Amino acid sequence: MHRVKVRVVEDALDANNTIARANRADFDRHGVTVVNLMSAPGSGKTTLLERALSHWHDGPRVGVLEGDVAGSLDADRLAHHHVPVVQLNTDNGFGGECHLDANMVRSAMDALPLDEIDMLIIENVGNLVCPAEFRVGEDARIMVSSVAEGADKPLKYPLMFRACELVVINKIDLIEHVDFDMDTFLYHLDAVHPGVTSLPVSARTGEGVDAVRSWLAALPDRVRAVA
């Protein structure tokens, strides 16, 4: 019985990866660089995007695919920054999926203005487990972890931190109010993903957001360089 369960999981991931490759081919055909933005609920992904997009002048033309279980609160917030936003809800009547998968992203393809953007940022459903297992056709992944979550998260959820190209340590304006040690967090992060880029940020105050914006703006050239 255990082997049957493992086979089912492997089949599901194989099927997802096949669709993810098809998504990636479509994105590449339109010249769109894709970022998968992942985190736990409440880490500040949407606020970070708002901050980054509010002073987005000379960078790539950006669109957002907003993933949530239900509602459009985050998509509504981002739409105020005059970027195309498509809402993708995972609610299926039984509580909703805890992540976006490749097929869900594919279902939103027709709504995405791929000919009008250079970069698509997919804001995944807040979860520290499943999003790391399901590729959606992205070129890069960003993990956002807030200081309020504690310094042990890389050790407790290693796949999430191992699967990304950038770790944003958000809400650093709260460090003096929470039990968080930056050196400990970075030590644990290096243990699970040696050498990964990390950026300390406060999306609320704007500290460090320029570095995130610069990382995103340079991503299409980095992707082309390794293609």
What is the bridge-based pairing of β-strands 85-89 and 166-170?
Answer: unpaired
Asked if 211 and 202 count as a contact pair (C-beta separation under 8 A), the reply is no
| DSSP, res 137 | S
170 CB-near residues (< 8 Å, 6+ apart): 43, 44, 48, 144, 145, 146, 147, 201, 202, 203
Backbone dihedral region of 152: left (phi > 0), alpha (psi from -120 to 50 degrees) or beta?
alpha
Residue 91 has a pLDDT of 81
Report residue 52 as tokens. 């980054």
Task: Please report, for the chain, the start and end positions of each structural domain, with discontinuous segments joined by +.
Answer: 2-226
Looking at the predicted structure, is the pLDDT value of residue 97 above 90?
A: no
Q: What is the pLDDT of residues 9-37, one digit of tens each?
A: 566 788 999 999 999 999 999 999 999 99
Residue 3 has a pLDDT of 54
The pLDDT-based confidence of 82 (bands split at 50, 70, 90) is confident
The pLDDT-based confidence of 95 (bands split at 50, 70, 90) is low
Mean pLDDT within 156-170:
97
Q: What are phi and psi of 101, to 5 degrees?
A: -115, 175
The predicted model scores a pTM of 0.92
CATH 2.40.160.20 fits 2-226, yes or no: no
